[in-house]
Amino acid sequence: MKKKTAVLATEDDLLVDLTFHNVPAILLAEFAEKIVRPYYAGNMNAAIQDLMHKALAEKDFFLSHITHVRSGNNG
């Protein structure tokens, strides 16, 4: 009998379908026109992923800066 090897996916391998509710159509259209079309060749998926990555990086930067200032090491 063959042993089956379980392969666990890393977080990078897990894909999730994402649905947005109650987003104004004009906001989506403007995002597509001004961001997605010129910078992502119309790839909405890539644009949203990049937006999320950048938001998380900005949050991390902001929190590390606030922690640095609060600890008195702002000199």
Instruction: Enumerate the domain spans of the chain.
Output: 23-69
Determine the Cα–Cα distance for residues 14 and 23; give it in Å rounded to an integer.
25
What percentage of the chain carries pLDDT values higher than 70?
Answer: 73
Q: What is the per-residue pLDDT across 9-21, written as a single tens digit (0 to 9) for each? A: 666 678 889 898 9
- Most confident option among 2-16, 37-51, 58-72: 37-51
Q: What is the per-residue pLDDT across 43-55, written as a single tens digit (0 to 9) for each? A: 999 999 999 999 9
This prediction's pTM: 0.65
Determine the Cα–Cα distance for residues 45 and 48; give it in Å rounded to an integer.
5
The length of the chain in residues reads 75
Question: Which two three-digit tokens encode residue 10?
Answer: 């890393």
Which sign, positive or negative, has the C-alpha torsion 6, 7, 8, 13? negative
User: Cα–Cα distances in Å, from 23 out to 9, 28, 48?
Assistant: 32, 7, 14
